[in-house]
C-alpha cells in the first residue's frame, strides 16, 4: 500500500547556517512545541520550529559558542531558552545569551581527543543537566606477559548537575568507553535514556532516574542496540539492532514485545533491505527508513508502521525523488532534508 506524503512546510537555511548535532537538533522529546538548534558562524541559535517553517520570526535566543575553533561539541538549551549548555570531551559549560559563563564542570581528559564523545541534555523542568563525560583515566603499565599492572579504566561517567550552579547532584560509572552517544528524555519527565556507541565493542542502552539517594541506572541486556524513540505514553520505546531489526520494548523493564525485520517491510526488486532508523510520527504511527545495503541515499524508502501492533501500513510516496532519512516530530509530521532545504511532511 502506498501512502501519500503531504507537504506541511519548507524552509531554507541561511548562508552558512547548519543544523547542529546528531540526528538533527530538534528537541522532539521535550515538553512543548518542537525547537531547533542551528549553528551560524560562532553562534548557536534556538528557533521555534513551527515559526521557522512558517517564515515568521522564529529566533528564541542565541549563544556564543564557547569553543569556536572546535567542530566537535554538543549543545542543549533550557526549556525557557535563557541558558545554553555546551559539552565537549573535557567539560560542560553553561552560558547566557549575553555571553556570561554561569558555571563550568570539568571532567577527566581522555588520553587522545580527536572528536567529541560526550553528550548533554537539560531536563524538561530545567532543574538539571544530564551529561556523559570521560571517567578517571587508567594508570599503570602493561607487563611483558600481557597483563596490566595498575588501575584500569572503569568507564565513562553519567552525571546529573544542578542547572543553576553546575554542582554534581549524582554520578554513576557506566563501564563503557564511548565513541559517541546521545540523550533521550522519557515522556514522564523523570527518566532519561542514554544511547552509547563503542564502535566495534558494542552499542548500549541505559536508563537513569534521579532519586533522593542518588542516580539509579539500569542497562538493557542486549549489547548491540541503538535507542531510537520513546512512545508519547511512556509505556514503551523503540530500539534498532543493526542492520535489520526494529524492536518495541516495554518500559521500564525493556522486554521486547515485538520485532520487525526490514525484509518484512520492504522487498526491493534486487538486493536486501536494511533499516536506517525509526521514530514516532504520533502515538499511533512509526516511520522507519529502509535502504538497500551499500547503495546511494536515493534508494531510501520510508515505511509507516502501526505503533501498537507493529503491522506495516505502507510505503510513503513523495511528490519528488525520495529523501534519505526521515526525522519524526511526534506531532503527526516529520522532517527530511535536501541540500540547504528542510522539508516538513504529514500523510494521508
pLDDT per position as a tens digit, 28-85: 555 677 888 888 778 888 999 999 898 889 999 999 989 888 777 889 999 999 999 9
| 209: helix, strand or coil | strand
Half-sphere exposure of 28 (CA within 13 A, CB side): 22
**What does the domain layout of the chain look like in residue ranges?**
65-219
Here the cell at position 32 is 512543548
CB 32, CB 38: distance < 8 Å: no
C-alpha cell at 278: 525509526
Q: Where are the alpha helices (DSSP H) in the chain?
A: 49-53
Only one residue has cell 529502509, namely 290
What would the mean pLDDT of 187-197 be, rounded to a whole number? Answer: 94
pLDDT digits 0-9 by tens, 39-48: 877 888 899 9
Kindly indicate the confidence band of residue 16, based on its pLDDT and cuts at 50, 70 and 90. very low
pTM of the model: 0.90
Superfamily of 65-219 according to CATH: YVTN repeat-like/Quinoprotein amine dehydrogenase (2.130.10.10)
Amino acid at each position: 500500500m502506498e501512502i501519500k506524503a503531504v507537504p506541511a512546510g519548507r524552509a531554507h537555511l541561511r548562508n552558512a547556517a547548519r543544523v547542529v548535532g546528531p540526528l538533527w537538533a530538534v528537541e522532539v522529546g521535550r515538553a512543548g512545541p518542537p525547537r531547533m538548534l542551528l549553528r551560524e558562524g560562532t553562534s548557536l541559535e534556538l528557533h521555534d520550529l513551527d515559526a521557522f517553517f512558517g517564515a515568521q520570526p522564529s529566533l528564541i535566543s542565541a549563544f556564543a559558542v564557547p569553543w569556536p575553533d572546535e567542530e566537535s561539541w554538543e549543545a542543549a538549551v533550557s526549556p525557557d531558552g535563557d541558558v545554553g549548555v555546551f559539552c565537549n570531551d573535557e567539560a560542560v559549560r553553561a552560558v547566557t545569551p549575553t555571553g556570561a559563563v554561569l558555571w563550568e564542570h570539568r571532567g577527566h581528559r581522555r588520553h587522545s581527543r580527536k572528536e567529541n564523545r560526550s553528550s548533554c541534555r537539560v531536563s524538561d523542568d530545567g532543574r538539571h543537566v544530564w551529561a556523559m563525560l570521560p571517567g578517571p583515566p587508567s594508570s599503570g603499565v602493561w607487563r611483558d606477559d600481557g597483563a596490566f599492572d595498575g588501575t584500569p579504566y572503569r568507564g565513562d561517567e553519567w552525571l546529573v548537575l544542578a542547572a543553576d550552579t553546575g554542582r554534581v547532584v549524582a554520578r554513576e560509572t557506566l563501564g563503557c568507553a564511548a565513541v559517541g552517544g546521545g540523550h533521550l528524555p522519557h515522556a514522564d519527565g523523570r527518566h532519561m535514556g542514554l544511547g552509547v556507541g563503542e564502535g566495534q565493542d558494542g552499542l548500549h542502552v541505559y536508563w537513569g532516574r534521579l532519586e533522593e539517594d542518588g542516580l539509579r541506572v539500569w542497562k538493557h541486556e542486549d549489547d548491540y542496540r541503538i535507542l531510537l524513540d520513546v512512545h508519547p505514553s511512556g509505556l514503551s520505546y523503540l530500539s534498532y539492532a543493526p542492520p535489520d531489526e526494529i524492536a518495541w520494548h516495554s518500559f521500564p523493564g525493556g522486554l521486547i514485545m515485538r520485532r520487525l525485520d526490514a525484509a518484512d517491510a520492504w522487498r526491493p526488486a534486487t538486493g536486501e533491505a536494511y533499516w536506517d532508523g525509526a521514530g514516532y510520527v504520533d502515538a499511533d504511527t512509526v516511520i522507519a527508513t529502509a535502504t538497500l545495503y551499500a547503495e546511494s541515499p536515493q534508494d531510501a524508502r520510508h515505511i509507516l508502521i502501526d505503533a501498537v501492533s507493529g503491522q506495516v501500513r505502507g510505503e510513503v510516496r513523495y511528490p519528488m525523488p525520495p529523501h534519505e532519512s526521515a526525522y519524526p516530530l511526534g506531532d503527526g509530521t516529520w522532517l527530511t532534508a535536501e541540500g540547504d532545504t528542510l522539508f516538513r511532511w504529514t500523510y494521508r
